[in-house]
Amino acid sequence: MSNETLTPSTLRPSYVEPGKDFDRDTNYIEDRIALDGRDGWPVEPGRYRLVAARACPWANRTAIVRRLLGLERVISLGMPGPTHDKNSWTFDLDPNGVDPVLGIERIQQAYFARFPDYPRGITVPALVDVPSGKVVTNNYPQITLDFETEWADYHRPGAPDLYPVALRAEIDEVANLIFHDVNNGVYKCGFAGSQKSYERAYGTLFSRLDWLEERLTNQRYLVGDTITEADIRLFTTLARFDAVYHGHFKCNRNKLSEMPVLWAYARDLFQTPGFGDTIDFEQIKKHYYVTHSDINPTGIVPAGPDASGWLTAHGREALGGRPFGDGTPPEAPLESERVPAL
């Protein structure tokens, strides 16, 4: 992506367009950090910083993969606060509101350092080149795949294979269905601009959740007998379902906790090192209920639901499976990256 392809534009101030379906802009900065440095960004320990807000489900994926593979040693983590304005996410959780590595107040500054007047959404996750302060990519589906493949030389001993070659076609197929119908499906409900578009998205979402309920009845994980990229992509939506999507996005046919198989599956992953230890329910709720002022103009953040249920027994071990395959669980999170205990 080059400067010549971009023109100045203002960022969209609202998430809902009356009378229209929600249409996510999936045009991302497609540069990749690769072993061969094909786009000018070679794999290099310590060079890049992952900016990934706790609140964001797309960013949450990258934080989980980074943890599971042990990439904390080679890719640092910057964490914006849970809320943002129409311009970008800010580092309001850091001292003086400045990211301690990048020295910026907003992730927007990293985008503009590379593309002045960047015209699209200033999104997380984003990988930033620390020496130049320029954003490299915000292409979140590719970021995790590259963590799993291009960064393999820097995986921790015992890191799981989250994208096994023999299962990639099935992982990609399942992940694609989940993206359109579940990950993005909840947003299609919440940001629907008409009753008709909402009801269409609602039907698609719950049909897919029913399909997942059936698929996971007799197998512990989505593809194969170990945790893969597909499970990570589904988990971050399930983790936010009862806290946000059920009420805020009107995805209220039932709660996740009322779908016995999916609820047990989600708890199984939550209790697996690398998953629940990246989840901060208070930040998640504050992000959605405060930031989406067009659908929650009061800005009131719900006190519930009680999150302690995530720690209850799930019984999924009876289905067999090996969470990390031939690998091992990750070590405890870095002290600076720990989330509040439930």
What CATH number does the domain containing 223 carry?
1.20.1050.10
DSSP string, 234-292: HHHHHHHIIIIITTTT---SS-GGGSHHHHHHHHHHHTSTTTGGG--HHHHHHHHHHH-
Residues 179 and 324 in one domain: yes
Whether residue 184 is found in the same domain as residue 46: no
> Residue ranges of the chain with pLDDT lower than 70?
1-13
Which of 154, 182, 205 is the last residue before a domain boundary? 154
Residue 205 covered by a domain: yes
Note if 187 is an active site residue: yes
207 and 82 inside one domain: no
pLDDT of residue 3: 36
Per the structure, the count of domains in the chain is 2
Structure tokens, 12 = 């969209």
Q: What pLDDT score was predicted for residue 15?
A: 85
In a domain, 160, yes or no: no
Domain stop point among 125, 154, 183: 154
Find the catalytic residue in 28, 163, 187, 198: 187
On whether both 146 and 169 belong to a single domain, the answer is no
Same structural domain, 193 and 264 = yes
pLDDT at 12: 34
The predicted structure's pLDDT at residue 93? 97
pTM, to two decimals: 0.95
Residues 28 and 91 in one domain: yes
333 and 256, same structural domain?
Answer: yes
Catalytic residue among 56, 111, 140, 221: 56
Same domain, yes or no: 137 and 259:
no
- Residue 217, in any domain of the structure: yes
Is 342 within the bounds of a domain?
no
Predicted pLDDT at 27: 92
Residues 8, 107: one domain? Answer: yes
Q: Are residues 201 and 272 in the same domain?
A: yes
Range of the domain at 97: 3-154
Determine the Cα–Cα distance for residues 106 and 245; give it in Å rounded to an integer.
27
| 40 domain-assigned | yes
Q: Which pLDDT score, from 0 to 100, does residue 1 have?
A: 39
> What pLDDT does residue 86 have?
87
Q: Which long-range contacts (CB under 8 A, 24 or more apart) does 292-301 make?
A: 292/15, 292/190, 292/248, 294/14, 294/15, 294/16, 295/15, 295/16, 295/190, 295/191, 295/248, 296/248
Domain's final residue, options 122, 154, 186: 154
- What is the total residue count of the chain? 342
Do 143 and 236 sit in the same domain of this protein? no
On whether both 123 and 231 belong to a single domain, the answer is no
Q: Is 263 annotated as a binding residue?
A: no
Q: Does any domain span residue 90? A: yes
The pLDDT of residue 9:
31
